[in-house]
Every structure is written in C-alpha cells, then in structure tokens.
Amino acid sequence: MVKFCETCKDKKAFIVRPKTGKLICQECFFTAFEEEIHYTIISNNLFKRGERIAVGASGGKDSTVLIHVMNHLNKKYDYGLELILLSIDEGITGYRDDSLETVKDNQVTYGLQLKILSYKDLYGWTMDEIVKQIGLNNNCTFCGVFRRQALDRGAQLLNCDKILTGHNADDIAETILMNIARGDFFRLGRCVQITTGGDGVDDDDHIPRLKPFKYTYEKEIVLYAYHKKLVYFSTECIYSPNAYRGHVRELIKDIEKVRPSSIVDIIHSAEQIAININVKLPKKMKCTQCGFVSSNSICKACGLLDKLNKGKPKVALKAE
Ligand SMILES: Nc1ncnc2c1ncn2[C@@H]1O[C@H](COP(=O)(O)OP(=O)(O)OP(=O)(O)O)[C@@H](O)[C@H]1O
C-alpha cells in the first residue's frame, strides 16, 4: 500500500522522521530540517548582518551538513553573512589528513575561503607525537584544549566575529548527562547555552561560539546528508577511547528508541535547571604566556604545552 506524506498529504513518503516518528516525503523533510535551524537562528538572534563567520570544518557529517545548510539559509533569507571555513589539522595520520580532503572539496563546491591551521605550527607538536609521549589514555584532554584555542586563534587571524560548530542535540544531551553524573553544575549551566565564549569564562575562548544544531538530531543530520548526497568523512578518531562519553551515548540511544523526544527533553530540562544555577564566574584575565583570555595567570593550553615540552605530560593531566 502506498503511504503518503503526513505533512503535505500529497507525495509518497518513504522517510520516518526520527524526531517525530511521522512519515514524510523527501521534499517536506528537507524543508522541515532547514526551517527548524532557521527558527533556532532567528529566535536566538545568532547573527547580525555583515558579520564574518568562521565555520569549524572537520570534514565529518555534522560540519559538512552545517556548511551546506548555512550556505543555503544565508542565501535564502539574506542573512548577509560572510562564511569562511576554518579547519584545525591535529596531525592524526590516516584520520584528519583524509577528512581535510573532504573539507577542500566543500571549499570548491561552495566557493568559500578555507583556512587550515595545524597543531604542529601552533604548538610544535602533532597529536601523533603527543600520543607517542602519553599513550592513548587522556590524549583527548590535550586535543580538546588545543582545538578550542586553535579555533579561537584561527578565527582571530581571519578577523571573524563568531565561530560556528556542528555540535548537535545528541552531543549536547550527552554532555548534560555527563555533567549531571559528575555533579559539575558550572559546566551543566554552560553546556546548554547556544552561545558560549566571548566572555572570558572559558580559557582560550574569546570569540563567541555558536551551535545552530543545538536542537537538531544526529539521525536527522545523517538522513539529510544521505538524501542530499553530501560527501563526508565518517571514520571515528583513531585516538578517542572516551569511555565515559561512550557509556552515556549508549544510554541516550537506548532511551531515544523508546521515546524519541527524550533528546530534546533532556536539553529543555537542563535549560530550566540552568536558569536556577547561580554559579560564581571565574575572573577573566590574559594568559601571561600567550595573551589569550584565561581564568588563571597561565591558560590551560600553555600549561599543558609547558609540561609536554618538559617531558612531563602526565603531570599536566593530574592538574586537570
Ligand atoms: N579539526 C577540526 N577543525 C575544525 N572544526 C572542528 C574540528 N574538529 C571538530 N570541529 C568542530 O567541532 C564540532 C564538533 O566536533 P566533534 O569532535 O564532536 O566531531 P563530530 O561530532 O564528529 O562532528 P563532525 O561530524 O562535524 O566531525 C564539529 O562539527 C566542528 O564544527
């Protein structure tokens, strides 16, 4: 029996929307997906006309779809933004070098400027070299801290007003549960915000960071990429054995199977909790070594780098 789209009631439907469980045709799915992101952008006043926006481009599914959708909405609704692709090459052979090829293809497809900055140039170390020093455990701490600052440095170099990342609703729901499970109320309040940074609260973060996919489901991003025939790099990072996040991810996938709205409900619950959290913000200052915003006299990136250069990276991790 032919099934019709529950939205337009006209075309044949062969997609079940992960967010709603409703049958939908391809055209209505594209429209709903894009319009929900447009609504998130408009209702949160994410942009001003004329702004230069650095899009964090890793070559993975989220940022590939982010580039496509932002490019589309910027034209359709005349946001008046200048979009620039910013990629950080962490120096992971067989992973980032391959995914950056996808970003270069996107640059050509959309005709956007692309800037690639490497950990080697910025810090003197590749992740391959760091992992040789410290092993697989905890290498994500180095990578995460360095990437935050590298994106900030890149955006500053490009004279950008804001940085966009492809963090999606699933990523945010995971981070919320992780922060609840470890009783970190400060980070719980921060992780649920659609815009962070620019206030000197987080080290290495002085340009605002925006998450236009805050309410967008990972499954829908994958579906959109598939039906739009977008090419992305889908291999997991070879150095990321983040066991804690992995358990939380599995938990969310299980809950989502029984109740698809759970992901967005977790986000809404955390938004309500965050309103009532009164956390004292750390005083902002400039790192005495690199001059970037920090909550201590030496920022996290410089602290880690210092110990790495002295051959004592594990000491730095203990302080984290
Ligand atoms: N090397 C990088 N260069 C530029 N931006 C990055 C890089 N790594 C991550 N990002 C940004 O941070 C977002 C979240 O990164 P995360 O590591 O969670 O990857 P992900 O969930 O696999 O996302 P993606 O599918 O875009 O790779 C990405 O969507 C992207 O915007």
Structural domains for the chain: 1-31 (no CATH), 44-278 (3.40.50.620)
Instruction: Evaluate whether 5 touches 24 at the Cβ level (below 8 Å).
Output: yes
Give the separation between CA 196 and CA 208, rounded to whole angstroms: 6
Q: Is 58 in the pocket of ligand 1 (CB under 6 A)?
A: yes
pLDDT 10s per residue in the chain (320 long)? 889 999 999 999 989 999 999 999 999 999 999 999 999 999 999 999 999 999 999 999 999 999 999 999 999 999 999 999 999 999 999 988 889 999 999 999 999 999 999 999 999 999 999 999 888 877 888 999 999 999 999 999 999 999 999 999 999 999 999 999 999 888 898 899 999 886 655 655 679 999 999 999 999 999 999 999 999 998 888 887 667 888 999 999 999 999 999 999 999 999 998 877 766 667 778 889 888 878 888 988 999 999 989 888 776 666 55
Query: Does the annotation flag 57 for ligand binding?
Result: yes
Query: Does the annotation flag 56 for ligand binding?
Result: yes
Q: Is 139 in the pocket of ligand 1 (CB under 6 A)?
A: no
Q: Tell which residue, 215, 209, 233, 225, has the closest CA to residue 170.
A: 215
Give the separation between CA 45 and CA 39, rounded to whole angstroms: 10
DSSP reduced 3-state for 169: helix
| Per-residue pLDDT at 312 | 80
Q: What's the CA-to-centroid distance between 129 and ligand 1, angstroms? A: 21
Give the separation between CA 190 and CA 186, rounded to whole angstroms: 7
Instruction: Evaluate whether 59 touches 103 at the Cβ level (below 8 Å).
Output: yes
Query: Does the annotation flag 60 for ligand binding?
Result: no
Instruction: Evaluate whether 37 touches 66 at the Cβ level (below 8 Å).
Output: no
Give the separation between CA 24 and CA 8, rounded to whole angstroms: 8
Q: What's the CA-to-centroid distance between 57 and ligand 1, angstroms? A: 7
Query: Amino acid identity of 233?
Result: F
Instruction: Evaluate whether 28 touches 16 at the Cβ level (below 8 Å).
Output: no
Pairing verdict, β 113-118 and 82-89: parallel
Query: Does the annotation flag 189 for ligand binding?
Result: no
Torsion of CA 311, 314, 316, 318, to 10 degrees: -160
What is the residue with the minimal CA distance to atom 18 of ligand 1? 167
How many degrees, rounded to 5, is the angle at CA 105 between CA 100 and CA 110? 125
List all residues 6 or more positions away from 84 whose beta carbon is below 8 Å from its beta carbon: 52, 53, 54, 55, 112, 113, 114, 115, 158, 160
Give the separation between CA 273 and CA 265, rounded to whole angstroms: 12
Identify the bridge partners of residue 86 per DSSP, sorted by sequence position.
56, 115
pTM of whole model > 0.95? Answer: no
Give the separation between CA 19 and CA 5, rounded to whole angstroms: 15
Q: What's the CA-to-centroid distance between 232 and ligand 1, angstroms? A: 12
Pocket test for ligand 1, best of 165, 174, 214 (most atoms within 8 A of CB): 165
Instruction: Evaluate whether 36 touches 215 at the Cβ level (below 8 Å).
Output: yes
How many degrees, rounded to 5, is the angle at CA 100 between CA 95 and CA 106? 140
Query: Amino acid identity of 245?
Result: R
Query: Does the annotation flag 166 for ligand binding?
Result: yes
Q: Is 166 in the pocket of ligand 1 (CB under 6 A)?
A: yes
Residue 39: φ, ψ to 5°: -60, -45
Q: What's the CA-to-centroid distance between 222 and ligand 1, angstroms? A: 15
